[in-house]
Amino acid sequence: MTNQSRSFYRLLGPFLARREVVAEVGGPIWDEDDKTWFVALADGVVVGFCAARESGSVVTLQSAYVVPGYRRSGVYRALFADRLAWLGDRPARAVCTEASLPAFLDTGFTEARTRGRFTEVRRG
């Protein structure tokens, strides 16, 4: 899904500026035209999302969030798997939290550096 999709703002709009979401992902979430979004729904309601942005030869994986009531239920891993399938063999980087770091390391990413509560990871 992109921000050009008819349902984008209806589904994700309520999350983009929520203080608790912004605080958890480490900054504002923007809806740039070159982002691809992956969305998890339960009964038509968003329970998680993540994004990826193509920039030159490296894809940046961005903006992952799962609603608190759906954490530890496989939503993040499913979104992560969808994003990796879309990514294919292309080189990628991400800045992740301690909670999401294992998912990256388990799929071939390596730690590049850590700053505060965030770790930059790279693949390829």
Supply the CATH number for residue 54's domain. 3.40.630.30
Task: Assess whether pLDDT exceeds 90 at residue 59.
Answer: yes
Distance CA 20, CA 111 (A): 26
Rounded to 5°, the CA angle 81-71-50 comes to 45
Expressed as residue numbers, the domain containing 55 is: 8-89
Burial class (CB in 10 A: 0-12, 13-18, 19+), 31: middle
- pLDDT higher at 55 or 124: 124
For residue 77, tell me if it sits in a domain.
yes
Query: Within a domain: residue 117?
Result: no
Cα 84-76-5 angle, rounded to 5 deg: 70
What is the pLDDT averaged over residues 28-45? 92
Above 90 in pLDDT, residue 67? yes
pTM for the structure as a whole: 0.88
The predicted pLDDT at position 74 comes to 94
Query: Contact, 73 vs 29, CB < 8 A?
Result: no
Total tally of structural domains belonging to the chain: 1
4-33 residue pLDDT tens: 899 999 999 988 889 999 888 888 898 888
